[in-house]
Amino acid sequence: MNTSVKITGVGSYIPNEVAKNESFKDYQFLNEDGTGFKDPNPVIIEKFKAITGINERRYIGKKLVTSDIAFIAAKRAIAASKIDQEELNYIIVAHNYGDIKHGTVQSDTVPSIASRVKHLLKIENPNCVAYDMLFGCPGWLESTIHANAFIKSGIAKKCLVIGAEALSRVVDKYDRDSMIYSDGAGAIILEATKEEGGILSHESCTHTKDETEFIYFGKSNNPQAKDNTHYIKMYGRKVYNFALTNVPLAMKNCLDKSGVNIKDLKKIFIHQANEKMDEAICQRFYKLYDLELPKNIMPMSIGKLGNSSVATIPTLLDMVLQDKLEGHHVEKGDVIMFASVGAGMNINALTYKF
């Protein structure tokens, strides 16, 4: 029997600090050119909610950084899997901005976040290799694809894959897009097994001809800002159109490789970027098979957790597996799909059988 690669443990860290939409009512939102908006903040916030589906988001505490929450999620995944952490062959951490301490603006990525997590776990085995993945929001899923390749090739048996981000440390408070972003961490243990199922197929793409700067690091929208600090920025309409055109195609390629009939797909765990965009992506995916999007196939956490980049999918998975998302659960034998899109511009998808 061929080796399968299965998830044997999942863990997450969802911050306690809740920032509701109304907490932005006194912000001074500005356009990219520094001009103000015609609508007052309550209208801006209401329109934002209608488009993104976000009611609130989570921020980490002042004493925490990305590597701390990655470590917490990792510990929980390891405990859930009941493995000996010294047997881990790889620790892969997806993030985009490293450790940024509260009140500072400098990203700290040396040593790598993965090395810091390994240190915090107190793993002594030098053959446990730790490295970081920079792949935009699809980074956790791409890390999972890497780990799958290591295990399938025989050079690894157990891998820890983490997605962790603290976007609250890189947002421009004058940019209304700052309401989108949040913090969080999710982790899984992947293991070689002789059991049926596991990872069935995957697809990855990078579009850079015209799309590289759709999401970027840029200056504040406040023209009076005297420092040269840069923040996470995006051209939302371009990202939306790009995603609707390209993500469904990648999802179809991935599903077709798996040999699974789309009617047998139980859930789609899609990166929690924008509620309307995610729904439109999945509708277009089903239309490629001349089908309508089934009800209740998309677990969504963005309404309460916001967009935590690489952490959205693994935290969502943990919530569903722990029955913490009403109306959503998976059972043995169920086939699901993961899909993501983000800076790069990168896209990926993966099918998995429980």
Give the tens place of pLDDT for each residue, 74-105. 999 999 999 999 999 999 999 999 999 998 87
Domain that holds residue 103: 4-196
pLDDT interval class at 106 (50, 70, 90):
confident
Q: Where a domain ends, among 172, 196, 220? A: 196
User: Do 310 and 273 touch, CB atoms closer than 8 A?
Assistant: no
- Mean pLDDT estimate for the chain: 95
pTM, to two decimals: 0.95
Based on the structure, what is the number of domains in the chain? Answer: 2
101, 239: one domain: no
> Cα(206)–Cα(212) distance, rounded to whole angstroms?
9
214, 303: one domain: yes
- Percent of the chain past pLDDT 90, that is, above it, reads 92
Q: Where a domain ends, among 196, 215, 240? A: 196
Q: Does position 340 have pLDDT exceeding 80, yes or no?
A: yes
Q: Where a domain ends, among 158, 179, 196? A: 196
Determine the pLDDT at residue 227: 79
76, 221: one domain: no
Q: What is the pLDDT of residues 12-69, one digit of tens each?
A: 999 999 999 999 999 999 999 899 999 999 999 999 999 999 999 999 999 999 999 9
pLDDT interval class at 203 (50, 70, 90):
very high
pLDDT interval class at 172 (50, 70, 90):
very high
187, 268: one domain: no
Q: Does position 220 have pLDDT exceeding 60, yes or no?
A: yes
pLDDT interval class at 224 (50, 70, 90):
confident
145, 256: one domain: no
Task: Report phi then psi at 283, rounded to 5.
Answer: -60, -45
164, 259: one domain: no
69, 211: one domain: no
69, 165: one domain: yes
Determine the pLDDT at residue 103: 86
CB neighbour list of residue 195: distance below 8 Å, 6 or more residues apart: 4, 6
pLDDT interval class at 1 (50, 70, 90):
low
248, 135: one domain: no
If you average pLDDT over residues 331-351, what whole number do you get?
97
39, 172: one domain: yes
30, 176: one domain: yes
Residue 127's CATH number: 3.40.47.10
188, 227: one domain: no
CA 164 to chain centre: 8
Q: Which long-range contacts (CB under 8 A, 24 or more apart) does 125-132 make?
A: 125/86, 125/87, 125/88, 127/89, 128/86, 128/88, 128/89, 128/90, 128/91, 129/89, 129/90, 129/91, 130/90, 130/91, 130/92, 130/93, 131/90, 131/91, 131/92, 131/93, 132/92, 132/93, 132/94, 132/95
